[in-house]
Amino acid sequence: MIKSSTAFSGNVEENKKQSPAFGIDLGTTNSAISVVGNSDVPHTIKLTSGKTTMPSCVLWNSNAPEGKQFIVGEEALEQRYKSNVVYSVKRKMGSGEVVKFVHGKKSITKTPAEVSALILKALVEKASVQYKNIKDVVITVPAEFDTKQIEDTRLAGELAGLNVLNIMREPTAASIVYKLDKKPGNVLVYDLGGGTFDVSLVEVNTASTGDSDLLDVLGIEDNEATSKDTITVKATRGDTKLGGDDLDMLMYKVLEKGLKLKGIDPTKVPKVVKEKTLLRLQKSKTNVDYMAMDYPFKYTQADGVEVDTVVRFSMQDYKKCTYRIFQKTKVYINDLLNSQNININSIVLVGGSTKNKLLKEFLAKEYPDVHIYDYLNPDESVADGAAVNAKRLKFGSDSLEIFDVTSNRIGVESDGRIVTMIEKNQTVPCTQSRMFATCVDNQEKVSINVYEGSGIYKDDCNYLGTVVLDDIPKAKAGKVAIYVSLTVDDNGLLTCSGRADGKPTKKLELVNILGRKVEKETKGSNIMFERWYTFANNLEDDKVREELLELIDKARVNPDGARDVIDYMRKLG
């Protein structure tokens, strides 16, 4: 079905001289809201809790009065093991799934967008002590979010009563507040959050225009001339299912192995016990020096067996788990760098999970000639950058230009194959045109089917929409020219235009493609990777296990690597 829509942006002219515009980082684990004050420097708003971040966790109390049934934040997080609490809902955005709250004998279901709207409402309420009229916002998403995920994010903002000026990529937002010793250059934004991972190659440039005193966004002083900042995204890679949550699960699997060694079946651990343990593991990551500790397991199994034991989690265990996550991210980094062949000045750390000291050590060891830039606040920089962009969009500014890229190839179907028109990592905005022709005699109608993806056949790509040209002049096959243009504007809105010889142009807005996934994964491919990971994780030899896991990671980024995985597994017998 074709969707005729506007770009994911609101009316920036309404109430232009009223309240400021705000930037929101709607995170998997925590969310934050920022604003650019009178000093032209963005700052994250302190909430009623006294903190600048709020857990993205929602609790439903069916017994509470109407309008007060949902609790969002710290109180919900402390009870995340309960069936009436939902967390990490960002991972379900765009999935078409629903989430279920169960409280006693009552239950309700909500879409991920609806739950995210509750998070946004609570964030605004907790920030309203300082700013009463929070309406115009820019909300950030991971660079690898697809169209449905972006649409769900926009919908969440609207359901929360906000005017969504723009949906912005998280690494791009963070790069706005980045400065490298007041020098321009190419940087790698490494964004590892609670549930998602992105790595973006960004070029930060400052060009003098000869007229002012301060670069108001990046803080670069110039006493004789105005500077104009240009943020240009060169390329992106990432995984919307890789983050701090996955580190928590790896750590928990270590505890499960400990239970097995004691003759206890870990599959019989009650959900409440597992969730409480995961919460404790999550909190323990804030202080690496105290990672080594005993974790109690005291419960009654469904079959009546009593369990009362402790399992030791060591610092070495934590190091192995962190290295496993690092390995996964390293594959995306190397793939991106190899595709661009550009020297980078710095790796900029963003996202709460980059506070992990071991992760920084692994990065420094793997990339010894690159400066690891960890001076940005990993919890606040994305919201701060979004606030700068929000102010620019609402009030206008000549001091900053932002150029993003497409995450995927976009093309049209022709002769049973997908003909690429817009390449992956093409700078946005962009337009590409191409001439085709009719394929049968006396053809009266042409359907221009638009797809995106790296495959050459439509079944391997994502369908985006169709433009139909009617009343084609009758002629022999190949004698009537069909002119097709694809345009992506600076908000990511894809428009397809088509016309036949002697006929008017038909134009249709299709979808917003910024952040679309690089590869369409089929159900079969997911099952295959799950089986490979299960096989590798059950290997006893640490060296063999790590080698195989690294090969599997590479195969997920580059399908050609599947042969290496199969060959390695065959050698193992």
Give the range among 75-89, 269-283, 324-338, 500-514 with minimum mean pLDDT: 500-514
Of 475, 499, 517, which marks where a domain is finished?
517
Q: How confident is the model at residue 289 (pLDDT cuts 50, 70, 90)?
A: low
The full DSSP string for 500-519 is ETTS--EEEEEEE-TT--SS
Q: Write the pLDDT tens digit of every residue in 93-104.
A: 988 889 999 999
Question: Within a domain: residue 14?
Answer: no
**Looking at the structure, do residues 165 and 182 belong to the same domain, yes or no?**
no
Predicted pLDDT at 284? 85
- Cα 197 to Cα 31, 52, 461: the distances in Å are 16, 22, 23
Question: Within a domain: residue 314?
Answer: yes
CATH number at residue 283: 3.90.640
Predicted pLDDT at 516? 32
Q: Alpha-carbon dihedral of residues 440, 446, 449, 454, nearest 10 degrees?
A: 40
Q: What is the rounded average pLDDT of the residues 295-307?
A: 92
Q: How confident is the model at residue 421 (pLDDT cuts 50, 70, 90)?
A: very high
Of 262, 290, 321, which marks where a domain is finished?
321
Does the pLDDT of residue 228 top 50, yes or no?
yes
Dig out the tokens for 397 from the structure. Answer: 């500014």
Question: Within a domain: residue 402?
Answer: no
**Looking at the structure, do residues 35 and 128 belong to the same domain, yes or no?**
yes
- Among candidate residues 174, 171, 95, 170, the one with its CA nearest the CA of residue 139: 170
Does the pLDDT of residue 435 top 80, yes or no?
yes
Predicted pLDDT at 18? 66
Does the pLDDT of residue 37 top 90, yes or no?
no
Q: What is the rounded average pLDDT of the residues 22-39?
A: 92
- Rounded to 5°, the CA angle 124-130-133 comes to 55
Q: Write the pLDDT tens digit of every residue in 508-564.
A: 777 655 533 333 444 445 556 666 777 777 777 777 777 787 777 777 666 566 667
Cβ burial, residue 560 (10 Å; 0-12/13-18/19+): exposed
**Looking at the structure, do residues 93 and 128 belong to the same domain, yes or no?**
yes
Residue 109: strand, helix, or coil: strand
Count of structural domains within the chain:
5
- Cα 252 to Cα 90, 308, 351: the distances in Å are 21, 17, 22
Give the range among 6-10, 246-250, 451-455, 462-466 with minimum mean pLDDT: 6-10
**Looking at the structure, do residues 205 and 340 belong to the same domain, yes or no?**
yes
Q: What is the rounded average pLDDT of the residues 229-252?
A: 89
Of 283, 300, 321, which marks where a domain is finished?
321
Does the pLDDT of residue 573 top 50, yes or no?
yes
Predicted pLDDT at 135? 93
Question: Within a domain: residue 159?
Answer: yes
**Looking at the structure, do residues 546 and 415 belong to the same domain, yes or no?**
no
**Looking at the structure, do residues 234 and 368 belong to the same domain, yes or no?**
yes
**Looking at the structure, do residues 27 and 163 belong to the same domain, yes or no?**
yes
Predicted pLDDT at 529? 65
Residue by residue, what is the 3-state secondary structure of 556-569? HHCHHHHHHHHHHH
Question: Within a domain: residue 103?
Answer: yes
Does the pLDDT of residue 218 top 50, yes or no?
no
pLDDT, the chain, mean: 83
**Looking at the structure, do residues 163 and 179 belong to the same domain, yes or no?**
no
Give the range among 118-122, 175-179, 373-377, 565-569 with minimum mean pLDDT: 565-569
Give the residue, 5 or 269, on which the prediction is more confident.
Answer: 269
Give the CA radius of gyration of the chain: 25
Predicted pLDDT at 191? 94
Question: Within a domain: residue 200?
Answer: yes
Q: How confident is the model at residue 189 (pLDDT cuts 50, 70, 90)?
A: very high
CA distance 252 to 473: 66
Residue 11 phi, psi dihedral angles, 5° rounding? -85, 105
Residue 43: strand, helix, or coil: strand
Percent of the chain clearing pLDDT 90 (strictly above)? 46
Alpha carbon 172 to its chain's center: 11
**Looking at the structure, do residues 254 and 302 belong to the same domain, yes or no?**
yes
**Looking at the structure, do residues 83 and 131 belong to the same domain, yes or no?**
yes
Q: What is the rounded average pLDDT of the residues 195-220?
A: 64
Q: What is the rounded average pLDDT of the residues 461-478?
A: 85
In this prediction the pTM is 0.77
Predicted pLDDT at 17? 54
Does the pLDDT of residue 382 top 90, yes or no?
yes
Q: Write the pLDDT tens digit of every residue in 357-376.
A: 999 999 999 999 999 998 88
Give the residue, 156 or 95, on which the prediction is more confident.
Answer: 156
Predicted pLDDT at 220? 41
**Looking at the structure, do residues 338 and 454 belong to the same domain, yes or no?**
no
The residue segments making up the domain with residue 284 are: 244-321
Predicted pLDDT at 428? 83
Question: Within a domain: residue 401?
Answer: no
**Looking at the structure, do residues 136 and 257 belong to the same domain, yes or no?**
no
Instruction: Kindly state the helix (H) or strand (E) to which residue 340 belongs, with its residue range.
Output: helix 315-340
Predicted pLDDT at 463? 81
Q: What is the rounded average pLDDT of the residues 493-522?
A: 66
The full DSSP string for 442-511 is T---EEEEEEESS-SSGGGSEEEEEEEE-SPPP-STT-SEEEEEEEE-TT-EEEEEEEETTS--EEEEEE
For residue 276, give every residue at least 6 positions away whose Cβ sits within 8 Å of its Cβ, in sequence order, or none.
81
Q: How confident is the model at residue 126 (pLDDT cuts 50, 70, 90)?
A: very high
Residue 103: strand, helix, or coil: strand
Does the pLDDT of residue 187 top 50, yes or no?
yes
Predicted pLDDT at 13? 47
Question: Within a domain: residue 375?
Answer: yes
CATH number at residue 154: 3.30.420.40
Does the pLDDT of residue 120 top 70, yes or no?
yes
Q: What is the rounded average pLDDT of the residues 141-145?
A: 86
